[in-house]
Amino acid sequence: MDNNAIEKEIQAKGLNAPRLTPTLIESKVAAEYYMRASSAVGADVPSHTSLECLTLCILVLTNGFTIVGKSACASPENYNQELGNKIARANAIEQIWPLEGYLLKEKLAAVAV
Per domain, the residue ranges of the chain are 3-112
DSSP tag of 61: E
d(CA 105, CA 112): 10
d(CA 106, CA 108): 5
What's the pTM value of the predicted model, to 2 decimals? Answer: 0.89
Across the range 20-47, mean pLDDT stands at 91
Residue 55's Cα: distance from chain center in Å? 13
The predicted pLDDT at position 84 comes to: 97
User: Using CA of residue 89, residue 92, residue 97, residue 100, what is the dihedral sign?
Assistant: negative
Please write the tens of the pLDDT for every residue from 79-90: 999 999 999 999
Across the range 66-74, mean pLDDT stands at 96
DSSP tag of 18: S
